[in-house]
Amino acid sequence: MPLGVHVSIAGGIGNGPARAAELGCDTFQCFGGNPRGWKQKDISDEEVARFKSELKESAVAVSVIHASYLINISSPEDALYEKSITLLTEELLRAEKLGVDYVVVHMGSSRGAGSDFAIGRVAAAIRRIAAAHPGLKTELLLENTAGSGETTGARFEEVGAVIDGVGDAPIKLGFCFDTCHAFASGYPLATEEDVASLFKEMDKEIGLSRLKVIHLNDSKGALGSRKDRHDHIGEGCIGDFGPFLRHRVVGELPLILETPKKKPDDDPRNLALVRTLLASGE
């Protein structure tokens, strides 16, 4: 299965594919711009050409952009909601220009307005983007959350309800599953039975055909803690990733690590461990 990490775009987004290739990645994720800024710098034609050239020359099979953390398409505040739709649209158009496969987005927080309101708000935002830009090749992936701060998507039924609400709008729409977020929101992953139950519920509420990318992260927070705090593989409260990696659904899906990056060997070490687990089947 394709395995990779979230890479830095310091010096320009065109550096992303090369950084992934240096680590021996088959897939990678990066930001499309400043993840904490509303105003995004335009990408030059030269930068686009460099990105595409590096991507073509690498062994990378699947590329992903993670949308800005500022986006909140669940917000009851109209000004923030409109800014979020504009920024998410820019993220998708930038990814389309670069030839990126997927854009992953956090759906944001209802800020007290409730789950039903948030689901309707998110679905309406996606329908608007689809109507304005039909036929995008880049697919939008909704990511599950840890559930802190009334964030939308901590439970699979919320993600499924958003997808149902988008209906047949002309946009490719899928799901990105994060192991840390799922564990922190209350989905156990300790045993093969736990993992089988998780995928059974995912299939019922979302549909396994919608699952396109997996963020593989351990969790500093305990089961059900609702804390979005990633840890190195095997060093957090999930610990044993064997049952998850052995499940047939994981199959050939892209696995992207978003583990801490405090030392130069952090990414190589996590990648090596996951490769060992995959090779051994343990």
Told to judge if 94 belongs to the known catalytic residues of this protein, a careful annotator would answer no
Told to judge if 178 belongs to the known catalytic residues of this protein, a careful annotator would answer yes
Instruction: Calculate the alpha carbon distances from 65 to 96, 100, 228 in Å.
Output: 10, 7, 20
Told to judge if 230 belongs to the known catalytic residues of this protein, a careful annotator would answer yes
Q: Which residue in the list 82, 194, 258, 266 is annotated as catalytic?
A: 258
CA–CA dist 58, 7 (Å, integer): 14
User: How many CA atoms, within 13 angstroms, populate the side-chain half-sphere of residue 99?
Assistant: 15
Told to judge if 6 belongs to the known catalytic residues of this protein, a careful annotator would answer no
> Is 155:190 a contact under the CB 8 Å cutoff?
no
> Is 275:233 a contact under the CB 8 Å cutoff?
no
Q: Which residue in the list 106, 121, 155, 210 is annotated as catalytic?
A: 106
E strands in the chain: 3-6, 27-31, 62-66, 102-105, 139-143, 173-178, 211-216, 218-219, 230-231, 255-257
Q: Which residue in the list 6, 19, 66, 210 is annotated as catalytic?
A: 66
Q: What pLDDT score does 1 carry?
A: 81
Q: Which residue in the list 19, 218, 230, 267 is annotated as catalytic?
A: 230
Told to judge if 66 belongs to the known catalytic residues of this protein, a careful annotator would answer yes
Told to judge if 69 belongs to the known catalytic residues of this protein, a careful annotator would answer yes
How does pLDDT run across 96-109, given as a tens digit for each residue? 999 999 999 999 99
User: How many CA atoms, within 13 angstroms, populate the side-chain half-sphere of residue 208?
Assistant: 13
Beta partners for residue 213, in sequence order: 176
Q: Is the pLDDT of residue 4 over 70?
A: yes
Q: Where are the domains of the chain?
A: 3-280
Q: Which residue in the list 6, 94, 121, 181 is annotated as catalytic?
A: 181
How does pLDDT run across 113-141, given as a tens digit for each residue? 899 999 999 999 999 999 999 999 999 99
The hierarchical CATH code for the domain 3-280 is 3.20.20.150
How does pLDDT run across 42-81, given as a tens digit for each residue? 889 999 999 999 999 988 999 999 999 999 999 999 999 9
Q: Is the pLDDT of residue 282 over 60?
A: no
Told to judge if 81 belongs to the known catalytic residues of this protein, a careful annotator would answer no
Q: Which residue in the list 36, 42, 45, 252 is annotated as catalytic?
A: 36
Please count the other Cβ atoms lying within 10 Å of the Cβ belonging to residue 81.
20
